[in-house]
Amino acid sequence: MEEAMKMFKGRGDQLHERFDCLVEAGFDYNSVVRMIKRDPRILNMKRTVIQKKIDFIKNASVFPIECLVTYPRYFYHDLGKISARFSMYQWLKKRNAINPALSMCTILSIQEKRFVKYIVNIHPEGPTIWHLSKVYQTKIRINSSLYDIKFC
């Protein structure tokens, strides 16, 4: 138990607030418990960060929020990277150029060079669209309210 407690940063009320943030986002209690068992560090993140990333996946993502239960590491990825990769994936999917069943984990965890080689370069226009998404990624870092960008 002591080892587990060393992973958490913050007072008990802060950890409970972050847990509640996940439940309020639409996850049931048991799903949140499974997420935290998979990666307890989620509770170390600020509530505002958790909320922004949940809002993004609810409002601007091609993946359902339930994907976070099996891939809680989503919370550690930069919102600009998430937006750029999801937009690229959605663009390719609409053109039937990519497997529509790719997982969120595959799209986010693959290294940048491999992502470009195996996903972006699938379509002849892919590199151009990817470049545009990278330009918008910079804007997203500057103003996180721009996370609703899509290339469809």
Contact between 75 and 42 (Cβ < 8 Å): yes
pLDDT tens string for the chain (152 positions)? 355 456 666 677 778 899 999 999 999 999 999 999 999 999 999 999 999 999 999 998 889 999 999 999 999 999 989 989 999 999 999 999 999 999 999 999 999 999 999 999 999 999 999 998 877 766 655 454 444 444 44
Check: CB of residue 8 under 8 Å from CB of residue 15: yes
Rounded CA-CA distance 120/118 in Å is: 6
**What's this model's pTM, rounded to 2 decimal places?**
0.81
